[in-house]
A and B are shown apart, each in its own frame.
Chain A
Amino acid sequence: MSRRPAAMPNLEPRDVSAWRSRFVLLLFAAAAAALLGRAWFLQVFNKDFLANEGSKRFERTLEVPAGRAAIVDRRGEPLALSAPVESVWAVPRALLGDAEKLPLIARLTGRTTAELEDYLAARGERSFVYLARQIPPAQASRVMAVDAEGVFTQREYRRYYPAGELASQLVGFADIDGNGQEGMELAYNEQLQGHSGSRRVIRDRNGRVVEDLAEFTPPQPGEPVTLSIDMRLQYLAYRELKAVVESHDARGGLVLMMDPRTGEVLAMASQPGFNPNNRRGLELSGLRNRGATDTFEPGSTVKPLMIAWALDQGVVTRQTRVATGNGFHKMGRLVIKDAGGYGDLDMGGVLLKSSNIGAAKVGMQLGAEGIWDAYDAFGFGQRAEVGFPGEADGVLNHFTDWGDVATATSAYGYGLAVTALQLARGYAALADDGRLRPISLLKLDAPNPVERQVVSATSALQVRRWLEQVVAPGGTATAAAVKGHAVAGKTGTVRKVTATGYTEDAHLSLFAGMMPTERPQVVTLVVIDEPRKGDYYGGQVAAPVYSRVMHGAARLLQIPPTDLQTPRPDKALTADASKAVRS
């Protein structure tokens, strides 16, 4: 230390009281302590809350959509398919600020500039508005090429239905957000949907993704659903049904085909229909999958089932004959009518002529309980449980509620109601040697296990042979015959019930049958609802549809014809045959 010049003022601390400096020090210490305390408080007590608040302001969780899985037919043809498309969205305020590019964006998204401005201004406070939803990726990339402020795209999936109207009621449809609304799309929504993944990102004020954070959950795509239907048969059924509904000016109709050996439904066509790809102007009646949701009185089509049961129970034999007289039979206050007077008929004759009197007499021998047992065993009154939304139960009242009249009428198919699925299941049991299997709308790896043996194989075969006569020349449904194939089947013409009771001028025209008779591979049911032009008998309206559908089915399923000729070793027949094929 050097000595200070004497002229300088004395800087030595004056004699001030020591408390002042200590006071200042104390103040600093207190301030420091307060700061530390606050920091400690924020860091320890409020850390999570504050960190959270911070991320809320710039972190976003983006959804990574999982594609909705496809619905395909049994051969893998797509019936419903999701394809990626882009949705264009914008931050209104950012886009409004970019006045130069706004008109171009407006044009590319199909609006006028003024419209877009109004649209954005009305939503100015939001940070997300759609400009165009689900447009093709190529169009979206044109919008993005404009490079306007605050315009972004988002990947979405759009549902397409390549089969269009062919299977529309069965497949159903999903809404724009990919939620199943109808049909199989609704029934298997969970399985199809999958789980969308997510990624956490940091976004800037204008919505741009600045950084991808580590959090990433990959999307889990849904599982495809494989239906049991075969699109080739479905098309055939659709085409023939649509043609007959138009030519007879019918209210609607359905064709149901199934494989009796497995329980799988091969085709399920309904009219009227709708186009699932463009649902504008959709009529509700077109949505109904009549095969599952509508019930009807089966009429004469139950006779084979009832007679098979009676035969199996020993109530009637192959030789039993019933008197049907002149076609009028009074039973209490009920008058049963046949189309003609057929005299004495055996069971084959009752089916061949579709005699109501004969069926009623067999029914009375079975008794109310016997008939009820038969229908119950064939699965009437029990929902087919195919998992289709809105599937009906059908109606089979308990036999203790039946009087004599109800017993007699139920023997020829009135007073009970079935769905097409139930009736087809009954016929499938008849076709598969008396074995009743559950029905499936999904393709099966192994045939559905047999639920019960309804009637013996011999009884079932006997009834099928009788039913072959129905289709043969001289039967009531010669129009159902399929050239070269042995087919069996039964007609039905059912009066519809209206508010005033059974009516004379509204009918259901039915045909149910199977092919080939000895070992059936296909069971087909045709129902035409209220043919209003021309004929209405099952043998005239439904039977030709059956014939045409079965003819195509024989070709598609490679069912060998029954009139097959084995060529002799000499070449003459082969040459003849090849000539015949070419003619």
Chain B
Amino acid sequence: MRTVFVVFMGVALTVSAIAVVVSKHRSRALVNDLQQLAWERDRLETEWSQLQLEEAALASPIRVEAMARGRLQMAEPAQYIAVEQP
């Protein structure tokens, strides 16, 4: 009876020891993943704000007007009649 108990406890000890190693490994892997993702988020955030700035610079009314009037030779129509769509 006593031998069975000792063997059982021995097995349990080994299993739990391995479980500790596995979970520690997993936790390290997850921390690593987390850092990767945080880094990725950072990179995307940077890119997003730079794209926003770029868009704002390209869509600036000053630039749009200069291009419309200059390069595309556009002008407001001098004569027009507004009609109401029935």
Q: Mark A161-179, 1 if CB is under 8 A from B, else 0.
A: 0111010000000000000
A473 part of interface (Cβ distance < 8 Å): no
CB-CB < 8 A to A560: which residues of B?
Answer: 82, 84
Once A77-B56, A581-B77 are accepted as A-B contacts, the answer to whether A567 and B84 lie under 8 Å apart by CB is yes
A144 within 8 A of B: no
Contact A581 B81 (CB under 8 A): yes
Whether, in the assembled complex, A414 has its beta carbon less than 8 Å from a beta carbon of chain B, the answer is no
What is the CB-to-nearest-CB distance from A208 to chain B, in angstroms, rounded to a whole number? 16
Q: Knowing A81-B52, A81-B56, say if A580 contacts B80 (CB, 8 Å).
A: yes
The smallest beta-carbon distance between B64 and chain A, in angstroms, is 9
A166 to B64, CA, bound (A): 14
The reply to whether B57 and A137 contact each other, CB–CB distance below 8 Å, is no
Q: Given A78-B52, A84-B46, A583-B79, A166–B61 Cβ distance below 8 Å?
A: yes
Beta-carbon contact of A81 and B83 below 8 Å: no
Q: Is B36 among interface residues, defined by CB-CB distance under 8 A?
A: no
For B57, the chain A residues whose CB sits under 8 A away are 162
Proximity bits, B51-86, A CB within 8 Å = 1, else 0: 011001101111001000000000001011111101
Tell me the interface secondary structure of chain B in the complex. helix
Is the beta-carbon distance between A83 and B84 smaller than 8 angstroms?
Answer: no
CB distance A580 to B53 under 8 Å?
no
Number of interface residues of B (CB under 8 A): 22
Q: Is A504 an interface residue (CB 8 A)?
A: no
Report yes or no: B53 in contact with A567, Cβ–Cβ below 8 A. Answer: no
B83 close to A231 (CB less than 8 A): no
B46 is contacted by which of A137, A162, A163, A232 (Cβ under 8 Å)? A137
B44: min CB distance to chain A, Å? 11
Residue of B nearest to A235 (CB): B61
Say yes or no for B3: interface residue by CB 8 A criterion: no
CB closest residue in chain B, given A160: B53
Q: What residues of chain A lie closer than 8 Å to B59, measured between beta carbons? A: 77
Nearest residue (CB) in B for A162 is: B56
Residues on B with beta carbons closer than 8 Å to the beta carbon of A81: 49, 52-53, 56
Contact (Cβ within 8 A) B61 A580? no
| Contact status A563-B82, CB under 8 Å | yes
B33 contacts the other chain (CB 8 A): no
Q: Does A573 make an interface contact (CB < 8 A)?
A: yes
CA distance A411 to B46 in the complex (A): 58
Contact between A84 and B83 (Cβ–Cβ < 8 Å)?
Answer: no
Cβ of A574 within 8 Å of any chain B Cβ, yes or no, is yes
A565 within 8 A of B: yes
Residues of chain B with a CB closer than 8 A to A573's CB:
83
Report the Cα distance A567→B83, complex, angstroms: 7
Residues of chain B within 8 A of A484, CB atoms compared: 82
A83 in contact with B50 (CB, 8 Å): yes
* Residue B40, interface by CB 8 Å: no
Bound-state Cα–Cα, A547 to B6, Å: 98
Residues of B within 8 A of A564 (CB): 82-84
Interchain CB contact under 8 A, A231 and B82 = no
Pick from B53, B60, B81: contact of A577, CB below 8 A. Answer: B81
CA distance A162 to B56 in the complex (A): 6
Chain B residue at minimal CB-CB distance from A161: B56
* Cα separation A166 to B57 with both chains bound (whole Å): 13
Question: Among A67, A137, A162, A566, which residue has its beta carbon within 8 angstroms of that of B53?
Answer: A162
Which of B42, B77, B81 counts the most chain A CB atoms within 10 A?
B81
**Residues on the A chain within 8 Å of B49, using CB:** 81-84
**CB–CB A566/B84 < 8 A:** yes
Most buried by B among A82, A137, A576: A137
The minimal Cβ–Cβ distance linking B69 to chain A, given in whole angstroms, is: 12
Q: Would you give the 0/1 interface string for A558-575, flagging 1 where the beta carbon is closer than 8 Å to chain B? A: 001101111100000110
Question: What 0/1 pattern do residues 61 to 90 of A give for CB contact below 8 A with B?
Answer: 000000100000000011001111000000
Q: Is the CB of A566 within 8 A of B82?
A: no
Residues of B within 8 A of A166 (CB): 61-62
Enumerate chain A residues within 8 angstroms of B60, measured Cβ to Cβ: 162-164
Which residues from chain A contact B45 at a C-beta distance below 8 Å? 67, 84
Least CB distance from A467 to B in Å reads 23
Docked Cα-Cα span, A232 to B62, in Å, equals: 11
Given contacts A78-B52, A564-B83, 7 further A-B contacts (CB under 8 A): A78-B56, A81-B53, A83-B46, A83-B50, A83-B53, A84-B45, A239-B65
Interface residues of chain B, those whose CB is within 8 Å of chain A, are 42, 45-46, 49-50, 52-53, 56-57, 59-62, 65, 77, 79-84, 86
Can you spell out 27 A-B residue pairs with CB atoms less than 8 angstroms apart? Answer: A81-B49, A81-B52, A81-B56, A83-B46, A83-B52, A84-B42, A160-B53, A162-B52, A162-B56, A162-B60, A164-B60, A164-B62, A231-B61, A235-B61, A235-B62, A484-B82, A560-B82, A560-B84, A564-B83, A564-B84, A565-B81, A565-B82, A565-B83, A567-B84, A576-B81, A577-B81, A581-B81
Instruction: Give 6 closest A-B pairs by Cβ, nearest first.
Output: A162-B56, A83-B49, A235-B61, A561-B82, A580-B81, A84-B46
Residue positions of A touching B, CB distance < 8 A: 67, 77-78, 81-84, 137, 155, 160, 162-164, 166, 231-232, 235, 239, 484, 560-561, 563-567, 573-574, 576-577, 580-581, 583
